[in-house]
Amino acid sequence: MTKSTTKKTINWGIIGLGNIANKFAQDLLTVENAKLYAVASRSKDKANAFAEKYNAIKAYSNYEALAKDSNIDAVYIATPHVFHKENTLLCLENGIAVLCEKPFAMHAEQVEEMITKAKEKNLLLMEALWTYFLPHYQFVLNELANKTYGNILKLEADFGFKSNHSKTSRVWDKSLGGGSLLDIGIYPIFAALSTLGKPKHIKAQATFADTEVDSSCDIEFNYNKNVTAILKSSFLEDTPTKAIFYCENGTIKINTQFHCPTTVTITDLNSEEKTIGFNYKTIGYNYEIEHFNSLLRNRKTESDIMTFAFSKQLIKTLDDVRNLINLHY
C-alpha cells in the first residue's frame, strides 16, 4: 500500500506588513501545503489591503487579536527590530510557533528571554535569516566544509547601498533600532560566523548619521593563523555586496547580492573560472518557510540549521561590534 504523502497544511500569520512581509507573503504562495491565514497591522486599512493582495482569510488591526486566533500554526514577525522580543513573546504565550525576522532582537539578553520562553512553552522558535537556507549558500558552505579548495585564508563580505530613505524612515530611526549594522551589516557578519566561526579579536569603526545611528560600519575579524574577515555595511554608497572566500587552492565568490538568490563563481589556481547558477524561480523566502514547516510538522522546537546557539553567537557578536563603535540603543 502506498504511504500517504499528504502533509498538514500550515496556517501562517504575519505581524508587521512592510516591504519584507510582502516578499515573504509572495513566496508563501509558492509553498505547498501552506497558506496565509491571517495578517495584522496597527492600521486596519493596511491589514485589509494586504489580506486581499495575498488571499489571507483574516485581517486584524492589532497583534493581540491575531495571536489569540487558534487557527494559526505559525507567525512570521516582520516588525521593526525593537518590537521583535515583545511580538515573539506575545505569540509564544498564546501557543503559536514563531519565525522572527533578523536580527532576532536588540541584544543578547532579549534573545535569551525569547529562547527561554519558547523552551518553557515547548514551541518552535527560529530566527528568520533567510540566506542560510538558500541553495547557493548551502552549496558554498558544503564546499568550504569539505575543503574542496583548501582552508579559508581570508573572507571579504560587504553590503552597501546609497540610501534614499527619508530621515524619518525606520532605517535611520534610533528608537526603532535603525542603522546599517543591525539592518544589513548582520549579513557580512553572518557570512563570517557561519564559515569561520567566532573570531579571536574584533576591530570596528563607524560613521554616524545625525540621527545617532551608524551610516556605515567597517569591521575586521581576526582568527588563528592570520585568517581574517573584512566586513562592511553602508547606507552611504553602493558596494559590490559580494562574499569572497580566498582559499588555499582557489577562490569562491558569491556574486552580487550574496545574501539573495544569486550565482557562485569559482576560480582555481590556474585562474580558470566557472560560474554556477541555481535556477531560482522565487524571491527566495520559500526555502526558510519550507524548512520551518518541516520542523513544525515533525514537532521540532529548534532548527538544526539556524540553531539557538548560532542565533546567540550572532547577537553577541553584533553586541560586541556595537560596543566597539559606541552605538547604544
Q: Which backbone phi and psi does 85 adopt, to 5 degrees?
A: -65, -50
Kindly report, residue by residue over 62-101, the tens digit of the pLDDT.
999 999 999 999 999 999 999 999 999 999 999 999 999 9
Residues facing residue 152 across a β-bridge = 247
Both 220 and 301 in a single domain? Answer: no
Both 41 and 57 in a single domain? Answer: yes
Both 289 and 271 in a single domain? Answer: no
Owning domain of residue 74? 10-129+285-305
Q: What is the mean pLDDT of residues 303-327?
A: 98
Largest CA distance in the chain: 68
Both 162 and 272 in a single domain? Answer: yes
Both 146 and 259 in a single domain? Answer: yes
The helix (run of H) or strand (run of E) holding residue 13 is strand 10-15
User: pTM for the complete prediction?
Assistant: 0.96
Both 51 and 143 in a single domain? Answer: no
Residues facing residue 38 across a β-bridge = 13, 58
Rounded to whole angstroms, how far apart are CA atoms 157 and 184?
Answer: 11
CA distances from 325 to 29, 109, 215 (A): 41, 20, 12
Residue 38, SS3? strand
Rounded to whole angstroms, how far apart are CA atoms 170 and 175?
Answer: 9
Both 40 and 124 in a single domain? Answer: yes
CATH code assigned at 223: 3.30.360.10
Both 236 and 196 in a single domain? Answer: yes
Kindly report, residue by residue over 191-247, the tens digit of the pLDDT.
999 999 999 999 999 999 999 999 999 999 999 889 999 999 999 999 999 999 999
The answer to whether 111 touches 228, Cβ cutoff 8 Å, is no
CATH code assigned at 114: 3.40.50.720
The answer to whether 261 touches 134, Cβ cutoff 8 Å, is yes
Both 158 and 113 in a single domain? Answer: no
Domain end, chosen from 260, 277, 294, is at 277
